[in-house]
Amino acid sequence: MFRGIELILRGRDPREAWIWAQRICGVCTTVHALASVRAVEDALGIEVPENARLVRNIIAGTQNVQDHIIHFYHLHALDWVDVTLALKADPAKTSQIAQSISDWPKSSTSYFKAIQDRVKALVSSGQLSLFSSGDWGHPAYILPPEVNLLAVAHYIEALDLQREFIRIHAVLGGKNPHPQSYLVGGMSSSMDGNEPDAVINDERISLMNKLVKNAQTFVQQVYIPDVLAIAGFYKDWFKYGAGIGNYMAYGDYTTGSQKDPAGFMFPRGIILGRDLSTVHPVDPTHISEYVTHSWYNYAEGDGVGIHPSKGQTNPEYSGPKPPFDFLKTDEKYSWVKSPRYDDTAMEVGPLARTLIAYASGKEQVKKIVDGVLTKLNVPATGLFSTLGRIAARAIEADIMVGELGGWVAQLDDNMAHGNLTMHNGKQWNPDNWPKSAQGFGFHEAPRGSLGHWIEIEDKKIANYQAVVPSTWNAGPRDAKGQRGAYEAALQGTPIADPERPLEVLRTVHSFDPCLACAVHVVQANGKAYGRKAMVI
Amino acid sequence: MSQGQEGPRICVLGLGNLMRTDDAAGMLALRRLTGDSRFPRDVEVVEGETLGLDLLHDVYGVSHLLVLDAVDTGAAAGTLTRFQGQEVIDLPTSKSVHLLGLSDLIQVLRLMDAPPMEIVLLGVQPESTEWGTVLTAAVEAAQEGLVEAALVQLGDWRAILRDAALGAAGNSVRELVAT
């Protein structure tokens, strides 16, 4: 699937770019709107008020936590958890396990029995529905039935948690998905403690506080203990799926200027060759994209790398007529381009961010990471793995949900002190703009480093390029034949049954792939998806 | 009573992609319905468009769910169809929580112990789902019938609930309706 949003944006008013760019993806809602307004603000030299930064942080941080929870329970858990085995569990034993790993109150025998009965009813109806995609009975599933039941119960609870928690987007952005309150220069959310019609007032602050608190309890009492429990049974997966070993983050989340990385909660940096002793700087001008193995062409030829600010989107499909069984990797074989930093492949995402924060000496991150490693009795090198990505995501959710509470409190405090400014309108009028301007907007999205590059000419968009996290991770080989993160991570993965390569899915899913915006999805029919058609 | 439900809530949900011609039939019928002077104002309205799991919050705890959608049964274009209860759940399911179909949504609500007590799907047979913002003639002509059928269904549910409430001195409305 190729969307061509970058082409649609040309010739439009830069101030409306975010409305279009946000629609690049309906799964990673909001992240493209944020990167887009930041790109325009960077081009026009606009600093946004503190309240707008806080609102943006709360929207993005909520997305981060919700996305991580959905990923673990609803998109990835069933690679590790066999639903059909949960039906064989003794609910009393599940209750004992649950109470031994957490204080979470929903842990009685009768509770797990009721869950088991509901899943049984679903299975006996002959329609597995959401559970129909699993490779049930596959020998790579090794959890005891009781732990499977625990995970299935929390799968269902997580459905409930995520639907409540994302109400924060409806509060601050008017709707979900795709919040509508962005503005170049700030946000459009009105703020007044005593005004019942204001977007942010005392009532809304207490609602957000409640939702954040509930999410924090869930992360600490359910998500983290579940990751530890499941990882404890699959420790081999701290050895598999390492990948390229280079990690990059633009960094993000500050209450100060976006131009000052020193204030970022997720630090900016690069780790090369799994060497945690040095964090290298990131200079966004060193990024280039290759199309050597992608279904696009460059005017300069397909062997060169081009910086996204000069990026070209000229689709040219040359693969076999779908549906096909095989793609030749020495030719073009992907709709995803291949981004490189200093001509080197990078992995982005929660693991990259966690490693860079850890190596940068961020105390809070070090403490949580070391705690997890100690509990699992795994060395720090175990983080370079499939399970490392899963653990990093849970750790990040825990840190982020704590920060969310702080941002809501700061917003409340500003409101109490009469600081209600939400927008900087100084550069709103295009008559004040330079004839030409270039900007880079970035965001550490749930799946990793997201960049938008904009070129403004005569008040209109002359060029627009987005390099999304899944492009960094999923991109094909570059001109030198260097593999991207997915491809590299799959090398050396043991596969019990080549007809049912569940292990491959474990590693690919550990990246939380969002291929809607990486323009990569070829809709296969259900059974063939991700199985024999793997392109490795 | 399941854990998601605290009292009777009637909700009408429109589904469909507004940019894919007849796929928009349910959404457009919903708008026509809510603009009708006979539409009861105590009924909740959800423009579901193409959303899947994101609809969970809106339909969670609803006791009576009326869905309007384009449904391909192979009949002549514009044919109205009605599915109730288990028939809705028996519709084909999808494989991903990112492409959640209606029957999956109901299955998820069941797993969460919050399924609607009553569910009715009123469908119209599409002729085209190509790009476009205008319904084909047959489906456009069927819009009025779809709206009338929706009004009848909502009227029936409200009458049942009203009778139950009147005759339910001291008892919960929902328990009586369930019997």
Place of tokens 């990923």: A71
Alpha helices for A329-381 (secondary structure H): 350-359, 363-376
Counting beta carbons within 10 angstroms of the beta carbon of residue A325, is it exposed (0 to 12), middle (13 to 18) or buried (19 or more)? Answer: exposed
Give residue B100's pLDDT.
61
Pairing of strands A287-290, A269-271: unpaired
Sequential pLDDT tens for chain B (179 residues): 455 557 899 999 999 888 889 999 999 999 999 999 999 999 999 998 877 778 888 999 999 999 999 988 888 999 999 999 888 887 776 544 445 678 888 888 999 999 999 999 999 999 998 888 999 999 999 999 999 999 999 999 999 999 888 876 555 555 555 54
CB contact under 8 A, B51 and A177: yes
Task: List the one residue out of A414, A270, A291, A447 whose CA is nearest residue A342.
Answer: A270
* Chain B, window 59-118: residues with a beta carbon less than 8 angstroms from a chain A beta carbon: 60, 89-90, 93, 95-98, 100, 103-104, 107-108, 110-113
Average pLDDT over residues A512-524: 48
Placement of tokens 């603009």 in the chain: B35
| Out of A111-115, A202-206, B92-96, least confident range | B92-96
Q: Which CATH class is domain B10-178?
A: alpha beta
Question: Domain range for residue A151?
Answer: 5-288+343-528
Residue A171 amino acid letter: V
Name the residue among A74, A130, A166 with its Cβ closest to that of B107: A130
Lowest mean pLDDT among A311-320, A348-357, A515-524, B2-11: A515-524
Touching check for B5 and chain A: CB below 8 Å? Answer: no
> Mean pLDDT across the stretch A143-154?
98
* Residues paired with A448 in a beta bridge: A445
Output the pLDDT for position B94.
Answer: 54
pLDDT score at B1? 43
Supply the DSSP symbol for A505. H
Name the residue ranges covered by the structural domains of chain B: 10-178
What are A344's two structure tokens? Answer: 């080197």
For tokens 């009861």, name the residue.
B40
State chain A's mean pLDDT as an integer: 91
Could you tell me the end-to-end alpha-carbon distance of chain A, in angstroms, rounded to an integer? 20
Q: Does residue A189 carry a pLDDT above 60?
A: yes
Segment A34-61 mean pLDDT: 98
For residue A386, pLDDT over 70 is answered with: yes
3-state helix, strand, coil in chain A (%, to 5): 50, 10, 40
Q: How confident is the model at residue A536 (pLDDT cuts 50, 70, 90)?
A: very low
Q: Note if the bond before B126 is cis, omega within 30 degrees.
A: no
The Cα A275–Cα A213 span in angstroms is 37
| Res B122: pLDDT | 94
Cα–Cα dist A339/A292, whole Å: 11
Q: Which residues of B touch A163 (CB under 8 A)?
A: 53, 56-57, 60
> Alpha carbon A307 to chain centroid distance?
23
Counting the structural domains of chain A, the total is: 1
- Give mean pLDDT, residues A512-525: 47
Calpha distance A355→A370 (Å, rounded): 12
For residues A328 and A231, the model is more confident at: A231
How many CB atoms are closer than 10 A to CB A180? Answer: 14
Q: Is the dihedral of CA A6, A8, A10, A16 positive or negative?
A: negative
SS3 A75: helix
Whether A319 is in a domain gets the answer no
From the list B54, B60, B108, the residue facing A130 with the nearest CB is B108
With beta carbons less than 8 A apart as the criterion, state whether A242 and A385 touch: yes
Beta bridge partners of A288: A340
> CB-based burial of residue B171 (10 Å sphere; 0-12 exposed, 13-18 middle, 19+ buried)?
exposed
Report the range of poorest mean pLDDT among A318-332, A419-433, A482-496.
Answer: A318-332
Half-sphere exposure of B64 (CA within 13 A, CB side): 20
**Residue with structure tokens 């047959």?**
B138
Q: Tell whether A267 is covered by a domain.
A: yes
Give the residue-averaged pLDDT of A431-457.
97
* Tokens standing for residue A400: 């982020």
Q: What is the mean pLDDT of residues A487-496?
A: 90
**A129: chain B residues, CB-CB within 8 Å:** 93, 103-104, 107-108
Q: CA B114, B116, B120 angle in degrees (round to 5)?
A: 155
Residue A516 above 60 pLDDT? no
Residue type, A21: A
Of the candidates B105, B104, B16, which has an alpha carbon nearest to the alpha carbon of residue A133?
B104
Q: What pTM did the predictor assign? A: 0.90
Instruction: Please report the ipTM that was assigned to this predicted complex.
Output: 0.79
User: Of A158, A134, A154, which is closest to residue A85 (Cα–Cα)?
Assistant: A134
B56/A506 Cα distance (integer angstroms): 27
Residue A369: its pLDDT value, please?
A: 95
Q: Range with the lowest mean pLDDT among A465-474, A510-519, B4-13?
A: A510-519
Mean pLDDT of the A279-305 span: 95
Give the CA angle between residues A116, A122, A128 to the nearest 5°. Answer: 115
Q: Quote the CA–CA distance of A443 and A452 in Å, as a whole number.
A: 9
The enclosing domain of A258 has a CATH number of 1.10.645.10
Is the bond preceding residue A434 a cis peptide, omega within 30 degrees? no
Among A119, A130, A178, the strongest candidate for a mutation testing the B interface, having the largest count of B CBs within 10 A, is A130
A191: β partners: A200
Whether A132 and B93 lie within 8 Å, measured CB to CB:
yes
Least reliable range by pLDDT among A27-31, A232-236, A279-283, A407-411: A27-31
- Is A297 among the domain residues? no
Spatial contact of B177 and B164, defined as CB atoms under 8 Å apart: yes
Using the structure block, give the residue that is written with the tokens 């709709």. Answer: A335
| Cβ atoms of A49 and A421 closer than 8 Å | yes
Q: Which amino acid is at B98?
A: H
Residue with the two structure tokens 């915006």: A517
- DSSP labels for A202-256? HHHHHHHHHHHHHHHHHIIIIIHHHHHHHHHH-GGGGTS--TT--EEE--B--SS
Judge whether residue A519 has pLDDT over 80: no
Check if the beta carbon of residue A269 is closer than 8 Å to that of residue A360: yes
> Sign of the CA dihedral A521, A524, A527, A528?
negative
